Amino acid sequence: MTPARIAQPRSLHAKASVRAGARRATHKTKYTPSRQAGVCRAIKYALLFDCDGVIVETEELHRLAYNGAFEAFDLYAGGEQVRWSREYYDVLANTVGGGKPKMRYHFTETLQGTWPSSKAVDEHADVPENDDAQMALIDALQDKKTEIYKRIVEEVAEARPGVIELMDEALARDDVAVAICSAATRAGFDKVVNAVVGVERLSKFDVVLAGDDVDKKKPDPLIYNMARERLPGNLEAHQCLVIEDSVTGLRAAKAAGMLCLVTPAGSNLNAPFMDEGADFVVEDIVQGNVSASSLFPPTGTAPDFSQLSAR
């Protein structure tokens, strides 16, 4: 039996999954970012954006891409076709960071070590029984998932309300360093940020990290610790503000000793963020009155939440 042809899920074209009112990278703004070479910047703060769920609501897009990869590889485990429901993906999204760790968790924990067979990897459709074979399967699945995800992103991905404006306002401040720290693979991440943030705007960020840049995924704090080390200004952790949308990302930010503002999305809307240590939770950037001027007072020494509107 040969691998099934990749099926385009019906909901790939359903733009209803993308929040209404969002904007693409062509959006114009009144702010003119200043990151000129040679300019001396007295940096006092850092603003670090997660990508998936913060910049773009991508949770459902990722799930569709995973299922497209599973179908393309004709995956079966325990006699059943491998497929992730919305409810199950909600659990994964709030438990494990990164695509490959999600798949390994699914096969080792959820299925209790029942690995799937796939003729796309092994012509005899043998179940991978050692770490090398299992990793080869996960690598191949991730590559296919990324390929499908990039195609979906081109069609429907748009920025969440207020995010681009907040980026531009922060980039216009010489006292604020700005970064993006995503658990997504570089290929999929680049597709999202290039389409939604825009290449020109992205070039003005001080640090941009994807999941491939670190050995450990969120909730491990490595990606945020690495970002702080690379940011200009020699900042302390308490001067850094992370914007996250999930418990997994929140835990990573707090483990790095940073402040964390949460803008929930998708399956994370009712998660206990304050119990997990969030410094503030808003409905979204617009509804929460979030701006660089409200977060980073020119005369302050740490990010300020006093002017924000809690959800």
Active site residues: 50, 52
Contact 184, 52 (CB under 8 A): yes
Contacts with 168 (C-beta within 8 Å, 6 or more apart), sequence order = 29, 31, 33, 201
For residue 246, what is the DSSP state? Answer: S
DSSP notation for 55-112:
TB--HHHHHHHHHHHHHHTT-EETTEE----HHHHHHHHTT--SHHHHHHHIIIIITT
Sign of CA dihedral 136, 137, 139, 143: positive
In 10 A of CB 264, how many CB atoms? 22
Contacts of 128 (CB under 8 A, 6+ apart): 115, 121, 122, 134, 136, 137
Question: Which residue's structure tokens are 């020699």?
Answer: 234
Q: Are 49 and 227 in contact (CB under 8 A)?
A: no
Straight-line distance from the first to the last Cα atom of the chain, in angstroms, rounded to the nearest whole number: 52
Residues 265, 245: contact at Cβ < 8 Å? Answer: yes
Taking CA atoms, 160 is separated from 167, 179, 204, in Å, by: 12, 17, 20
Give CA–CA dist 64/8, Å, rounded.
9
